[in-house]
């Protein structure tokens, strides 16, 4: 997922180890995508919310 975020947005990504089952994507100190009680967000959801938080707004191409 980190590679796809970098490929889509052009931004560097840092991977930080979390607790068991933890998955969250942070941009500028705020969570933009995370695992919920329903499971993991789709790749498209992660890329879209990350791009929007970075000012890209649109869906990944």
Q: Output 27 or 57, whichever has higher pLDDT.
A: 27
12 has pLDDT over 70? yes
- Alpha helices, DSSP H, located in 1-61: 2-9, 43-53
Give which of 17, 19, 45, 14 is closest to 29, Cα–Cα.
14
59 has pLDDT over 60? no
Whether this prediction's pTM lies above 0.95 is answered by no
The CA R_g of the chain, rounded to the nearest whole Å, is: 11
Give residue 60's pLDDT.
54
């Amino acid at each position: 997922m980190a590679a796809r975020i970098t490929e889509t947005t052009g931004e560097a990504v840092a991977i930080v180890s979390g607790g068991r089952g933890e998955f969250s994507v942070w941009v500028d100190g705020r969570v933009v995508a995370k695992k919920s009680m329903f499971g993991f967000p789709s790749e498209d959801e992660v890329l879209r919310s990350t791009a929007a938080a970075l000012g890209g707004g649109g869906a990944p191409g």
